[in-house]
Structure 1
């Protein structure tokens, strides 16, 4: 091969390489055309959602979780933190963080309460795809460094069938209760040079009289935050309890937590516009040691062009 021919070939390769790279960048930009990463050291973009095992469209019974991802793509800023409940296992968490990394600005990682939860006893993979359930904290790994985690189990009455007795950890009953295994992580924010502790919680349902122990469960969540420390503390998840149940919401206030949705609606008991499951407000994003909020919202099916989960997400920009 002559020197001239070699130079021509190198030139062709360079042009093709540039074209391919430009196409790839263009495709990535189109994927998340409206969103950008949050580069501010002053606040974090936080979302919480019980994803009901992130049902695929073939098994969703009308709930198509892809709609929430599409919604996030259209927001000005992608999430810094996303707490999720009723995720199936480590494999599903890995799939979700990879998808968020592929489709949103930023890169994502997560920590899960139990990597391989026990079976809930269901036999159908569709229609009731909840055989494994636990909780996780997802965060932008291009902004945060993971430090450590703490895990604990939510409480229900000692006699959970009758709803009587003291509040004790709800261990596996007739089905696994790994969905009440909570996780909190401490992250170092490399943009703000601050430490933030984030909990993803799921408290027992009415089936086990969980709301009767909601005050104990907020106490234990605050204790977990105390173990981790941090400049900012966020407790988010599915409480399966309304603000009036067992005085837990007022207890949370006494521990220093603020409820962005309540502050937006002007009351502990908001109107139906803020319900997150049927006619109840049971999903919360609570903040301690913060300096206020903005862009507070309940993510309704109207804004996502259809149902995306059995529960509605809540979101806020949380100030340090």
Structure 2
């Protein structure tokens, strides 16, 4: 606010205004220079790993998605947060975009934020609107939902991702049986990518399992097995002239948390290759990072991704190498909503909607090594 206008509103006399200016300017003249804006992320040129993020973006919430006020959000906060990290995303696995038009919007804004071109593929370019209230009270904004794999084109190029072999439908419980769910939002998508820096190939997938209210929790075991199979089916395990795929990365929203009281849930025990008896052999980025901390359990608890009746961890980045070997995963992050707000304020120069979050879900980021 202009100081002269402020003085008029508060009834300050010219003399008092002069005194106020003296008080304000004197310490400013003696103070050190203001801290510089944070350094921005650079491109990843290391052939040894990819910088990966995963997020359920909840259809890119904006401040004008009202009423109700709970539908509003500030999805750019997550972009600003990524910009304050060391490296730009190489791979971005996304759940809950409206359609191809919203993917194009996201790609355009990513180019603006990062100064790089990104490309992507959706499970469905124009999904049918849900006939049920899949978005709760925000259904009007979330009735169309699909999932995406996005990549940085200077680092990765698309080898293959064509319908129908690039997608699959997650399962839910109907009449006591796990069958294919009929919601477009639960259709996973995969892409085979060539890494132009390392010369290696990567299969990347984005998935979204049905909610508890749609019988998804009961079929989490089946969905974990299906995810594992889909990564290598339909020719995504090799491709001429590149040969065998070198790395598999999957990111998504399971709608099923990893632990029930003191016991690992069956789906997670099968999936997490760092647990005894795992049959699917994935590495979970957050679990692996928390195992290096003094209190792994507290670390995992602190890195929740969704609040329902309790804080739950339902969003994951999973990695695997050919033959079931576990890739090294480092620098795992689960950016908080406050961190998104602060990054926006630091870089945008025009403040931030502090009361609005980038999504209902917190994102996950990590470096996945070959």
Gaps of 5+ in 1: 1-30, 160-164, 172-176
1:155-304 paired onto structure 2 within 5 Å = 155-159=171-175, 165-171=176-182, 177-227=183-233, 228-229=236-237, 230-244=245-259, 247-252=266-271, 253=273, 254-266=279-291, 271-278=300-307, 279-289=311-321, 290-304=326-340
1:1-320 matches, cutoff 5 A: 34-59=40-65, 61=70, 62-121=72-131, 127-128=138-139, 129-149=141-161, 150-159=166-175, 165-171=176-182, 177-227=183-233, 228-229=236-237, 230-244=245-259, 247-252=266-271, 253=273, 254-266=279-291, 271-278=300-307, 279-289=311-321, 290-305=326-341, 306=354, 307-320=357-370
The whole-number CA distance in structure 2 between the counterparts of 1:268 and 1:260 is: 14
What is the CA-CA distance between 1:303 and the residue it aligns to? 1.4
Deviation at 1:276, TM superposition (A): 0.4
Segments of structure 2 that go 5 or more residues without pairing to the other structure are: 1-36, 238-244, 274-278, 342-353
Give SS of 2:334's match. strand
TM-score, normalized by length of structure 1?
A: 0.82
Could you give the per-residue CA deviations for residues 225-281 of structure 1, whole angstroms, max 9, x where no partner exists? 112112110111000001147511121132220111012223589643111001110
For residues 112-147 of structure 1, what are the alpha-carbon distances to aligned partners after superposition, in whole Å with 9 as ceiling and x for unaligned? Answer: 0000011124699x9441020010001011211111
Partner of 1:18: none
TM-score scaled by structure 2?
Answer: 0.71
List structure 1 segments (4+ residues) > 6 angstroms apart after TM superposition. none
The alignment covers a number of residue pairs equal to 280
* 8 Å CA contact retained: 1:73, 1:103: yes
Deviates more, 1:186-195 or 1:266-275: 266-275
- Over aligned residue pairs, what C-alpha RMSD do you find? 2.3
